[in-house]
Structures are given as C-alpha cells and as structure tokens.
Amino acid sequence: MEDVKSKKKLILILALLFLFCALILIGIGIYFNYLSKPTKIVEKTIVETSTYLKPYFFVKEDNLLSGSFTIDSDIKTTISSEYREKLSANDPESKTLTQMFKNLSNSETTLHIAKDLDNKKLHLNINNKVNKANLDYSLLVTNATEYYKVGNITEGYINSGTNNYFESLVNDTTSEENYEYLYDFITSRIGTYIEEEDITKYPATTTVLDKDVKVNKLSIKLTNDLLNNYKDKLYNDLKNDTKAKNIIESYNDEFFKKKQKNIKFFTKDEGLTVNIYTSTILSKVVKIEFEYSNNTDKEIISYEKGNNDNSIITIRKNDKMLYTLRITTKDKELQIKIQDSKDTNIGTISYSNDSSGIKFNADINNDTDKYLASYQVKKSNQKKTSCDRKDTLTFKYIKDKTTRIDLKVEATSKITTKVDIKENIDNAVLEKKLTDETKDKIDNYLVNYLNEISK
C-alpha cells in the first residue's frame, strides 16, 4: 500500500514537473514568436540603430555651456582656389570668386554669444569687417520676445514676436537635453507606425561579412502614401506629448497651427525599399539595406554588423560594388577604412572625443579626386568657471592635381560662466510696422555685403 502511494506521488510530481516545463517552453515559444514578428523586428532595429548612432549625433556639451555662459570668439578664415585663379583672367565668375576669397582671407570676424538662464536672456552678435564692407547681425531674446538688428538699417532692435526658447528649458534642462529628448521620442515612435501589411517576409541567402548565410528577409517598400501616413502619426504624437510640443514650439510657435499637407517624397520613377536580414534562429538582425531605384538604375547601401565592434558598409550601383567602408569602434574612437571595387584602400576617416577636445580627420583619394578634411577642438587653461578653446576646421579638394578649394577656419574663444546682457530695446520697432524700403534693405543686406567683398 505504501509503495502504491509512493508511486502515485512520484507520478504526480513528474506530471506537475512536466506541466511546469511545458508551460515554460510554451511561454518561451510565445515570447520568441512575439519577438520574431516582422513589426517587432523592424521596431527593434530602428531603436537599436538609433541608439548606436546617437553618440555621433550628440557630442557631449562642455560643462561650462550647460548653464549661463558667455563666449567671445575671434575667427580667422583663409580660403583660396588655384583652379579659379588660373581661370580668372578670362572668366568673370572666377575673377569675382578669387577676389571674394582674397577679401575674406583678410577679414576679421568676431562672434559673441551670451546666455543668461536666471533672467531668461540670450544675445548673439556676429560681425565681419573687410575693407569698406561690414556684416553685422544681432539677435536678442528677452521677456519671451525675439529681437534682431541688421547693421545700422534701423536705429534700434526690431521686434519679431514671441520666442519661447527659455520656456522649453524647464527643470534646468539644456538645449542638448531637449534635442536628445526629441531624438529618443521620434526614433522610439517611428517603428510603432509600421503595420504587418507594410512588410514582406521570405527566406533568402545573402552575404554578411564576406560569408554567404541563410536568412529571413523583411522588406518595406516606402511610398509617398506610406511615408505621409507615418508623418501624420508622428505629428500627432509630438503634438500630444507636452514636453515635445513645448520644445518644438519654443523654436517655431506656428508649427502645430499649420494644417498638415502631403509631401511628395518620390517621383513616379523613384523608389526606396528598406531590407532587414535576420538570422533564421532567434531573428537576430545581421544586415540592413537601403535600396534606391530611379528608372532602371539601382543603388544599394548595406550595413553589416559584426563582432568586436567591427562593421561594414557597402555601396553598390546596378549590382556593381563601388565602395566598402570597414568600421572599427573602440571606446570613444571611430576608425573607417575605405576601399574601392578592387579592394584598394582609397581613404580613411577617424573620430575621437574626450575631455581635452574633439578630433576628426578624413583623407579620401581616388584616381582623379582627393579630399582632405579635419576638425579639431583643443581646450586649455581649464578652470571651474572658464576655459580657452580653439576650433580649427580645414577642407581641401583637389581634382586632376589642381586645388579647387582650400579652406581653413580658426576660432579662438574665451568661455566663461559670467554673463551680463545689457542690450537696449527702448527704441525697438515692431517688424510689421517696418516700411517697405526698410524691409528691402534688410532683404538685400547680405547680397550687398557679398557684392562689396567681390570688388
């Protein structure tokens, strides 16, 4: 009798254990089936891709610029063109550009930016002087109102209406944090708009990191109707999110008052398809493609994620390989090696960002064209309330061994947390009360300046 009872208990325990395991397996199956749904794969891909790209869109703001600050910069621009100089003797356009380049290289530019968070004031002024030409523009935000001044066209500032810039900086948030909020909000929403019927799924074989692999291919053919549908949904989500709405309206208070209109993203001969390739097991994304077509021409940009922070971008046209970008990321450094269709190295791109500054370099060279670009930020005399900073931007384009453009911009700046904005708006005039003559002078101000430095 005891043995019978023991056997029944054992059978019951085994049955319950079997049921428990079955429930776990069913749960796992439902979970992975949920994750393998095309819409969920697309949504996850968008979020993960945007997260990966985010550090390169948002360079961490300097601590001194997170609150109230003043920046005073002296900017020196040097620009020339060997190509235009050779043509200037017989080509009026080249002669004009050559003279403009010479004048700009001899000009002096100052930039002043001051932001007072406590008093909700912002002041910006840029001034460039060369010979008799003078470009001078000021912007002021105070008392939730925007003012501007162009040269000496008007005696005082011009009142252009409401500006809610500071109203968007709630709870001590910075502009950078607002931009990041919008970025995260938008990228998290876009994937949710995609419906099952928007996606085509089928098994395929593709190349990933130079190896042929069997995958599941998910394709979304983007059309004008589909993109306008997504656009309208995003517009409504932004409008219904209080923080997103406040941020956008601080830059454009008319944004949500305008009636939404359909946008023509493509002509009848154009098309864009997004392809997402996933592993047959666990539905892990291994490759993303953007396939653009125009009549019979087709261009494909592919991104393949590897291991150990390695990835590849390939660019093809009409099934012919044009370029391969081999990307390596480590800590805060990004290295890109560029190869042509013959696997010949034709250039490199590097980027790094740390507490001492930013470095970006690009050197791309094929048979006829050579591009050299760099951007560097160096900080010195760093203190709790101030620092010196030097930004240097260079760009050179050489074609057929002749320099088409050679540009260098150096900005030497003093940054401090002290701020004192004392702009006078007593004589400010409403923009709508400006005479037609004054409006024409403002509209032609930049053109007249460019004409002056071309002489």
Q: Take residue 358 and report the two structure tokens written for it.
A: 């930013």
CA–CA distance, 375 with 359 (Å, rounded to integer): 6
Q: What is the pLDDT of residue 170?
A: 59
Q: Specify the residue for token string 């049955």.
A: 15
**DSSP characters over 289-330:** EEEEEETTEEEEEEEEE-STTEEEEEEEETTEEEEEEEEEEE
Q: Which amino acid does the sequence have at 396?
A: K
Q: Are 442 and 138 in contact (CB under 8 A)?
A: no
Q: What is the pLDDT of residue 310?
A: 80
Q: What is the DSSP letter of 345?
A: E
Nearest to 414 by CA among 390, 393, 440: 390
CA–CA distance, 120 with 142 (Å, rounded to integer): 6
- Give the residue ranges of the chain where pLDDT is below 50: 1-2, 4-5, 7-36
CA–CA distance, 326 with 347 (Å, rounded to integer): 11
Number of neighbours of residue 218 by Cβ within 10 angstroms: 23
pTM of the complete model:
0.76
Q: What is the pLDDT of residue 281?
A: 76
CA–CA distance, 62 with 360 (Å, rounded to integer): 17
DSSP, collapsed to helix, strand or coil, labels residue 252 as coil
- Provide the strand spans (E) within 117-269: 121-130, 133-142, 145-150, 158-162, 199-208, 211-222
Q: What is the pLDDT of residue 261?
A: 87
Number of neighbours of residue 17 by Cβ within 10 angstroms: 10
Q: Which distant-in-sequence residues (6+ apart) come within 8 Å of 272 by Cβ?
A: 221, 222, 266, 290, 291, 292, 293
CA–CA distance, 159 with 173 (Å, rounded to integer): 27
Helix H or strand E segment including 248? helix 242-251
Q: Which amino acid does the sequence have at 119?
A: N
Q: What is the pLDDT of residue 3?
A: 52
Q: What is the DSSP letter of 99?
A: H
Helix H or strand E segment including 453? none
CA–CA distance, 112 with 73 (Å, rounded to integer): 6
- What tens digit of pLDDT does each residue of 328-346 get? 887 778 888 988 888 889 8
Nearest to 209 by CA among 118, 108, 303: 303
Q: What is the pLDDT of residue 368?
A: 83
Phi-psi region of 131 (alpha: psi -120 to 50; beta: other; left: phi over 0): left
Hey, which residues does 205 pair with through a beta bridge? 214
Q: Take residue 101 and report the two structure tokens written for it.
A: 């380049």
Sign of the dihedral through C-alpha 164, 165, 168, 172 = negative
Q: What is the pLDDT of residue 441?
A: 93
Nearest to 286 by CA among 311, 300, 301, 304: 304
Nearest to 300 by CA among 268, 337, 340, 271: 271
Q: Which distant-in-sequence residues (6+ apart) come within 8 Å of 288 by Cβ?
A: 45, 49, 274, 275, 276, 277, 302, 303
Q: CA end-to-end span of the chain, whole Å? A: 115
